[in-house]
Structure 1
Amino acid sequence: MWTLVPLGNPGPEYQDTRHNLGRLLLQRWLADRNLAPVPTKRFPSGTLYPLTGQLQALVPTTYMNLSGEACLQASAAGIYPRRLILLHDDKDLPLGVGRFRLDGSDGGHNGLRSVFECLGTEEIARLRLGIGPFERPLADFVLGHWTDPEWERLDALDAPFARFLELLSAAETLSGLGNQVNPAGFWNLVRDPE
């Protein structure tokens, strides 16, 4: 079983902000399939939901910079950290570009930092979802709402995100998953007009 962890901030005021891109894509994926999963387990800092096949989701109920608490509680309940897939925004990738990684530093992302500190390792898989190019001040940018042109680009993310989940659901291991998406582990989720 693979456990998706869409990082973000709770509450309707943050729902459509750039920081919540992983949650947004997962919510759209569920809506497209008319799925309304019922929680299978509640932790003090997160809720576990069944998805389809070999996929489930652990949704932290804390703010982004405390995301690791839910992961730690899930780990204590038997969910192996190497079976977690973090879904998070990445200011250093352009909107419409994603990258799947098996490990690496937090890159200044507070949600990742919290997960790594709580679990004591950076060897946690993650799907980096571009929101760039970013503007300063960074906090205002990541907590800002999508613009109309950005919403148009977001519509094109649904199909490749669904393909990623399809590949993940069929994968026994994560090695090579990025290569199935694209040989370099990168892929353009939105094709710019040529």
Structure 2
Amino acid sequence: MYIIAGLGNPSKQYEGTRHNVGFDTIDYLAEKYQIPSSGLKHKALYGKGVIAGKKVLLVKPMTYMNLSGESVAELVSYYKANPDDELIVIYDDINLEPGSIRIRKKGSAGGHNGIKSIIGCTGTQNFKRIRIGVGEKPKGWDLADFVLGRFSKEDRKLVDEAIEHAADALKMILQDDINGAMNQYNRKMPDPHKDDAEGNFVI
């Protein structure tokens, strides 16, 4: 059983915010693979299904971002999952442009409080993760205000495309091809805000 956890904040006021792209990805996966919600358990909304021939648990922790690890650790324990092999976390990254994703086999929290909580509660940082770019915080902005804000129409379109790419990357990971997913998706994406003299994207 693979636990696929998308991070975000519960309640309607946070829907569509930068910090909730993990939730958005879980919703997209649930619709794409017709995985119905099974309700609330272990402080998370969850649904059981199959992706790429593998049994999965799609999870949205309802603990708020900073306490995501409480829910994820409970699920790991209940399902006797090995987080190093069977946990995949999807979340926002302000160090990536909207439209970009990055796949990692393991790593530090990188300043993300949700990941910091998961590492602290599970006792490992060796779980796989898919990071979805939400763009860099503008100078002078408060970080919380930025990540809890919503995308421009242009950036929302790019992020929706990135969520589709994240779903495709997840399928590859579940097919034991994380290296292939990294090779395909960890390349630098064009910056949509920077064009060359002929109007083409500059990479």
Structures share fold, TM-score greater than 0.5 = yes
8 Å CA contact 1:160, 1:189 repeated in 2: no
Number of residue pairs aligned between Structure 1 and Structure 2: 187
Q: Alignment partner of 1:20: what SS?
A: helix
Matched, 1:102 2:100: no
The correspondence of residues 74-93 of structure 1 with structure 2, limited to 5 A, is 74-77=75-78, 78-82=80-84, 83-93=86-96
Structure 1's 6 and 155: CA in aligned 2 closer, same or farther, altered over 3 A? closer
How far apart are 1:30 and its partner, in Å? 2.9
2:131 to 97, 105, 128: 128
Q: TM-score, normalised by structure 2?
A: 0.81
8 Å CA contact 2:100, 2:162 repeated in 1: no
Q: Alignment partner of 1:59: what SS?
A: strand
How far apart are 1:27 and its partner, in Å? 1.2
Structure 2: segments with no counterpart, 5+ residues: 193-199
RMSD: 2.3
In structure 1, the residue matched to 2:12 is 12
What amino acid is the match of 1:116? Answer: I
The correspondence of residues 151-190 of structure 1 with structure 2, limited to 5 A, is 151-171=156-176, 177=178, 179-183=179-183, 186-187=186-187
In structure 1, the residue matched to 2:49 is 51
Q: Alignment partner of 1:9: what SS?
A: coil
Deviations 1:126-153 (A, max 9, x none): 1111111222211111000121111221
Structure 1's 158 and 117: CA in aligned 2 closer, same or farther, altered over 3 A? closer
Of stretches 154-163 and 88-97 in structure 1, the one that deviates more from structure 2 is 154-163
- Mapped to 2, the partners of 1:115 and 1:75 lie a distance apart of 11
- Mapped to 1, the partners of 2:122 and 2:171 lie a distance apart of 27
Q: TM-score, normalised by structure 1?
A: 0.85
What amino acid is the match of 1:147? Answer: S
8 Å CA contact 1:41, 1:49 repeated in 2: no
- Mapped to 2, the partners of 1:67 and 1:158 lie a distance apart of 20
What amino acid is the match of 1:50? Answer: K
